[in-house]
Amino acid sequence: MYYYEDLKYIKMFQDFKANKIPLKDYVAKNKGTFYFFLIEFKVTRNFTKGKTDKLLLETIEFIENNNADNVDRFAERLSETDLTRGNKTTSLASKILFLNNPWNIIPMDILTRKALKQNENNYSIYKVNLDKYRHKNKTIIEECLHYAKPLATIIECEFSDKLKDLNIIRENRIVDKLLWTTKENGSW
């Protein structure tokens, strides 16, 4: 249901990184923008109002280093700024870094952690638990991918020449949705 929007957010972030979209346009409150992504992914409460542009610039600076997938470090870095009022916002960090690398990062929040029976607000632990979940639910994931493939392929047509390895993004989005729907018992 949200797959098209997810791909649009990913593409627009990639375009912003490639200097195809000006900062002022990308932080505007319009469909597909960084600000709209933060609203839709329910993380605006995690940072200081009116600082979307500073959050985006902090993100770009962070991902330009060689540790761009380190969600825990990004959450720590944000907590050292006035952007998150000193709070370690791992959910916010994971969702933003997901835009940068949807091939490797699956967003973490309270619902996905519950599905994995994880109390710690730590992405490195989450990543280990995700791998276990994927292994344990491999057949279900494959069945979901098979079922979703005809529709996903249609949705992906618009992005096939703009985003690489859509099959990996598709699988990661399926895993994310499965986690959201299995929050009570942790597996199928």
Helix (H) and strand (E) counts for the chain?
Answer: 10, 0
Reported as a pLDDT band with limits 50, 70 and 90, residue 115 is very high
Q: Is residue 187 part of a domain?
A: no
Number of domains in the chain: 1
Structure tokens at 66: 């060689």
Q: Most distant CA pair in the chain: distance in Å?
A: 45
Q: Is residue 102 part of a domain?
A: yes
Q: Is residue 188 part of a domain?
A: no
What does the CA dihedral 51, 56, 61, 62 come to, rounded to 10 degrees?
100
Q: Is the pLDDT of residue 46 over 70?
A: yes
Domain that holds residue 170: 3-181
At 69-79, the pLDDT tens digits run 999 999 999 99
- Which whole number is the average pLDDT over 3-11? 96
Q: Is the pLDDT of residue 30 over 70?
A: yes
Q: Is the pLDDT of residue 184 over 90?
A: no
Q: What is the pTM of this model?
A: 0.92
